[in-house]
Structure 1
Amino acid sequence: MTANWEKIEKNVGVLEVEVDAEQVALALDKAFRKVVQKVNVPGFRKGKVPRGIFEARFGIESLYQDAIDILLPDAYTKAIDEAGIDPIDRPEVDVEQFGKGQPFKFKAKVTVKPEVKLGDYKGLVVPAADAEVSDDEVNAELERLQQRHAELVTLDEGPAQMGDHTSIDFEGFLDGVPFDGGKGENYSLELGSGSFIPGFEEQVAGLNIAEEKDINVTFPENYQAENLAGKAVVFKVKLNELKRKNLPALDDEFAKDVSEFDTLEEYKADLANKLKERKAKDAEVARETAIVDKATEAAELEVPQVMVDSEITHMLKDFENRLSQQGMNLELYYQFSGQDEAALKAQMQADAEKRVRNNLVLEEIAKAENLEVSDADIEVELENLSKLYNRPAEELRNIFAANGYLQDMGSDLKVRKAVKFLVDNSKSA
């Protein structure tokens, strides 16, 4: 087999491939063994038709497409390895020649990773992040914990306030006519949560139990239901139940209830230490991000949209997984947020492009600095994942190998090594 790669524009080129006639003959044999199992010829059982009779009746050409399907994937894979290119999208394949006794010739228009011209990436100077913790930060964390351990108390009377938990009935009307999806009974709503369209929750505040009120709001212009987007509507709302947080006192008893400490001062000291550790880790991440951003800004490259689209797909899947952990799904999210898939993808566009750009630069730095991932590195990562998921490392290895993820793991580890290299070779302002 021979392969010839020629670049035609930016990160697009044509791969010309020729597979020898012997391989074509073997592929035709495999195709015949596959097809003959499905044909009916009088006088012969299925799968027992002689090759000569089959070709005389159906023609050798009837095997060509199956033979091409057998040859093409392996030939394309070997060709990109021989050409040393890194495709990022499905190729556009044009078969130029295929026939019995002839070489198989095809051209593939291939989009590959863009060239990256590195700028300065060693000795980058970034400000040192502050990891000190103030008394105000400790008190804010203490108040957050106080809110978490608050008891919800059912009230006999109102009025409702922002932060209260309510149960409401509601029905929405557009030009005096009820609209689909605009009705709910005994719906649980925390005022101030932002669950409803802007302005709704603020108008529920002030209602007394059993009181009814007409609430006027306007749907966002980008709301997924086109018949409601940008429209002014009226919701008839009734407050059924009202609960308010009863905050525990911040004293020694509180410290005993929520921690292993006997006094509030001891608990606050422990909180301060934990906040400092967390802030130090956040500072480390912020420093890494700043260094990578600086190295990326100094590089020259054009990011293909196909790579951005692929990253958006991954981000959308991750977002959907996080929603499911919270008992939600994308459909509900679109309903509550007023967005649709197109709007959410557009929102992810800039972040996805930045991620792709950063990864491309980091991969090029790893290449320039000969940073490699060893089998030992893979084993360490598998052991870390084993502890995280509480599953044997060998089991995880088999799962990743079966799904083709070990190579992705190696790529991720190489990128991490590039980040560490940048950090190790940077300076603090």
Structure 2
Amino acid sequence: MRGKERIKVSTPKVKLGEYRHVRVPFEDWKNAVEENIVRYRMSLENAERKAKEDLAAKEIVKRSQIQTSEEEVTARAVQMMEAYALRLQQQGLSIEGYYRTKKTNEQELLEQMKEKARKQIQARMVLAAVAQSENLEATVEEYDREVHKLAVRYLMSKEQVNKILQGEEGQRIRQEIAVEKAAKFLAANVKVNS
């Protein structure tokens, strides 16, 4: 029964706060759903689930003790800035033009991105800790499904993809599967106050 086998996932060190009984304010949930629909063009069902996932993770971050390194936060913020500059470039704009228009500079944008990066990293760490606490792991079948998707996307055989994913990248994919399961677990258990 290959699909029932489990693959262990390591998680970062987090002192996880209470996560099973999370309540979020209706107004916050409603605003997040609307943003998901308008900004990210999600279906109503996906927008509602994603809003619950995000708000639950945000609440659990507040309840938990999480240590993030400044280097990790800065590295993620730089990645976010580069992605933003690329999106601007694809629209025929430049990051320098953005700085002039917004009367800002690279350092100020980096500081803004650092705060967003810190929140993203902390949410991801909390989800990884929930996955570990609930024993949510990638099954061999789920991992194989991801390998198949990559093989199709990059026009490679599954064997070639598996060879590439033997080390750290394969572990990252397993971790992502576990984190997705944790997000779904939280969305299923979060209560929206009316």
Same fold (TM over 0.5): yes
Matched to 2:16, the amino acid is L
The 8 Å contact of residues 143 and 173 in structure 2, kept in 1 or not, is answered as yes
Q: What is the alpha-carbon root mean square deviation over aligned residues?
A: 3.4
Distance 1:288 1:339 in 2: 33
Find the counterpart in structure 2 of residue 348 from structure 1. 113
1:419 CA displacement: 1.0
Find the counterpart in structure 1 of residue 82 from structure 2. 317
Aligned equivalent of 2:146, options 354, 358, 381: 381
1:372 CA displacement: 1.4
Distance 1:377 1:423 in 2: 20
Matched to 1:328, the amino acid is L
The 8 Å contact of residues 24 and 55 in structure 2, kept in 1 or not, is answered as yes
Distance 2:97 2:122 in 1: 32
Matched to 1:294, the amino acid is E
Q: Spell out the pairing of 1:301-340 with structure 2 (5 A cutoff).
A: 301-340=66-105
1:355 CA displacement: 1.0
Distance 1:400 1:338 in 2: 45
Q: Against the structure 1 CA distance between its residues 374 and 342, is the aligned structure 2 distance closer, same or farther, given a 3 Å change threshold?
A: same
Q: Against the structure 1 CA distance between its residues 428 and 364, is the aligned structure 2 distance closer, same or farther, given a 3 Å change threshold?
A: same
Q: Per residue, is there more strand in 1 or in 2?
A: 1
Find the counterpart in structure 1 of residue 4 from structure 2. none
Task: Summarize deviations over 1:102-123 as a string: whole Å, max 9, x none.
Answer: xxxxxxxxxxx6x422121013
2:58 matched to 1:293? yes
Q: Against the structure 1 CA distance between its residues 319 and 386, is the aligned structure 2 distance closer, same or farther, given a 3 Å change threshold?
A: farther
Give the TM-score of the pair, scaled to structure 1. Answer: 0.35
Q: Against the structure 1 CA distance between its residues 319 and 305, is the aligned structure 2 distance closer, same or farther, given a 3 Å change threshold?
A: same
Q: Spell out the pairing of 1:157-196 with structure 2 (5 A cutoff).
A: none
Matched to 1:401, the amino acid is L
Find the counterpart in structure 1 of residue 35 from structure 2. none
The 8 Å contact of residues 382 and 396 in structure 1, kept in 2 or not, is answered as no
Task: Summarize deviations over 1:273-320 as a string: whole Å, max 9, x none.
Answer: xx9x73332222112111111111111233321221122122123223
Distance 1:369 1:418 in 2: 8
Q: Against the structure 1 CA distance between its residues 306 and 119, is the aligned structure 2 distance closer, same or farther, given a 3 Å change threshold?
A: same
Find the counterpart in structure 1 of residue 48 from structure 2. 283
Q: Per residue, is there more helix in 1 or in 2?
A: 2
Q: Spell out the pairing of 1:1-400 with structure 2 (5 A cutoff).
A: 115-127=13-25, 129=29, 278-384=43-149, 389=153, 391-392=155-156, 394=158, 397=161
Distance 1:372 1:313 in 2: 30
| Secondary structure of residue in 1 paired with 2:121 | helix
Larger radius of gyration: 1
Comparing both chains, which one has the higher relative contact order based on Cα–Cα distances under 8 Å and sequence gaps of 6 or more?
2
Matched to 2:124, the amino acid is N
Distance 2:147 2:167 in 1: 15
Q: Against the structure 1 CA distance between its residues 126 and 383, is the aligned structure 2 distance closer, same or farther, given a 3 Å change threshold?
A: farther
Distance 1:379 1:329 in 2: 40
The 8 Å contact of residues 382 and 393 in structure 1, kept in 2 or not, is answered as no
The 8 Å contact of residues 296 and 357 in structure 1, kept in 2 or not, is answered as yes
Matched to 2:55, the amino acid is A
| Secondary structure of residue in 2 paired with 1:405 | helix
Q: Give the gaps of 5 or more residues in structure 1.
A: 1-84, 87-112, 132-140, 142-274
1:401 CA displacement: 3.0
Identity %: 26
The 8 Å contact of residues 288 and 419 in structure 1, kept in 2 or not, is answered as yes
Give the TM-score of the pair, scaled to structure 2. Answer: 0.71
Q: Give the gaps of 5 or more residues in structure 2.
A: 1-9, 32-37
